[in-house]
Chains A and B, each alone.
Chain A
Amino acid sequence: MPVINMRLAQPAVLVDINRISSLDFIKAENGSVAIGALTRHASVASSEVLKQSCPMLPYAAQFVADVQVRNRGTFGGSISNADPAAQFPALVYTLGGEITARDSKGSRRIPAAEFFIAALTTALKPSEMVTEVRVPSLQGKIWSFRVVAPRAGDTVLAGVAVACELDTDGNCRWARIGMFGVGPTPLRASMAEEKLLGNRLEEKLIGEIAERAAAETQAGSDVYASASYRRELIRWLVAWNLRQIQGNPQEKKR
């Protein structure tokens, strides 16, 4: 709606999907969670199903905009809008989610890795709409999430989501490091993830991983922050998140 208010978009036809209540759901099934396109941010924030299976989503939801926007804004809307600084696209991308798109001819599932093409640009065809988003469960994994924004709920300057799985020796056997606000789409710090795999989290390694992640950003400068400041934020955020995981390996284990 803000884009329409600003006359940046002037659609000839608008279809209101708010009455399709069957698109408002959160369901856990077979190791993943399915979130209907019409699910409000407020529902994501308070969902017991998500708190059990993918708690990073309700945790991140509290940083999305403000109460009124969370009461009205939808998960499918956020994913389709593909704002590179938005929380939900970043988490769906980082965790390797899947987007179901549908048009009058049928539906298809698009991996998140192929969905976000550029800023505000997705793999959706003009005839398609998002009906459902699937996110893998985080059960048995440790995670940490933090954003930096000039004001609470404002556009994120930089955000980082980390999830990993440790073996019994404390070595990392699965890792995801997602970054947003620092490129045209959400990004994964894959070189930093590689560095983490097979290793124990310790201070020296954390510093090296954070350096690598910062080098993997595609940060740009704008009126809010310079590219170098954003890279510095990423370096700090990755290290902060990894220290959280190192310090509280049990706390966020579900």
Chain B
Amino acid sequence: MTRHASDLIGDDLGLTGAHVGREHGLCDCCTMPTGKEAMTRHAITLTVNGSSYTREVDARKLLSDFIRDDLGLTGTHVGCEHGLCGCCTIFLNGVTVKSCLTLAVQADGAELKTIEGLAPDGKFHPIQEAFWENHGLQCGFCTPGMLMSAVHLLEKNPNPTEQEIRKAIGGNLCRCTGYVNIVKSIKSAAEKMAGKLELTNFSSSSDLPSS
């Protein structure tokens, strides 16, 4: 039976300062310097929801953690931390990505949009309104990512079918709603926004080359 160093330190040596969190390497509560890592730090400048930020970050820092911890934009949620749940979905240079699968240093010079950018003046975006009206959320944990995916879909396809909506949110897990009301919300948002897409304009900054 293999023993983890974290357990050895905590249980056998009684040094309980090293905390044990999820015990599969994602939380870093048990991190300690071994003297081998040569962590590099980088200064990055990026635009988030129209504001420019310059920060110095560890090379290893995930973009999702950077957005929450360094920029204080906690609307972007962190669920699985390995690209399955979609809670951390943001716009990077005009397209949706999972920010936990991107390093902060990779976003140097990029333009980001997060859930906070959807209602910049505190007034709900029509998609947010639609989620509210149709009970498109229960606990709300997945909602920021769901909304980002919904915006991305409606920008490309203003009048999606139910099947297209379901495909578009395939990368976002919801454990409460069973998706029925989320699909209904997005459908309702599409009807609300017919012909008024300038309200979002999230992907206008796209500078990704297309093939």
A residues lining the B interface (CB < 8 Å): 1-2, 5-7, 12, 14, 16, 18, 21, 24-26, 36, 39-40, 42-44, 46-47, 49, 65-69, 71-72, 152-153
Contacts and interface: CB of A to CB of B under 8 A. Distances in A.
Given A47-B211, A67-B149, A72 B171 contact: no
B102 A24 contact: no
B95 A6 contact: no
A24 B209 contact: yes
B173 to A, nearest CB: 10
Given A5-B81, A6-B26, A16 B96 contact: no
Contacts of B97: 68, 71-72
A65 B83 CA distance: 10
Given A43-B211, A47-B211, A153-B171, A66 B102 contact: no
Contacts of A67: 96, 149, 152-153, 167-168, 170-171
Interface of B: 24-26, 38, 59, 62, 81-83, 86, 89, 92, 95-98, 100-103, 105-106, 149, 152-153, 167-168, 170-172, 208-211
B34 to A, nearest CB: 11
Contacts of A2: 82-83, 101
A15 B210 CA distance: 23
A6 B98 contact: no
Given A152-B167, A152-B170, A68 B25 contact: no
B149 to A, nearest CB: 6
Contacts of A68: 86, 89, 96-98, 149, 171
Contacts of B210: 43, 46
Contact of A69 (B103, B171, B211): B171
Given A2-B82, A14-B59, A67-B152, A49 B171 contact: no
Given A1-B83, A6-B82, A71 B106 contact: no
Nearest to B156: A67
Contact of B211 (A6, A24, A66): A24
B170 A49 contact: no
B53 to A, nearest CB: 19
B209 A21 contact: yes
B211 A16 contact: no
Contacts of B82: 1-2, 5-6
Contacts of A1: 82-83, 101-103
Contacts of B211: 24-26, 36, 39, 43-44, 47, 49
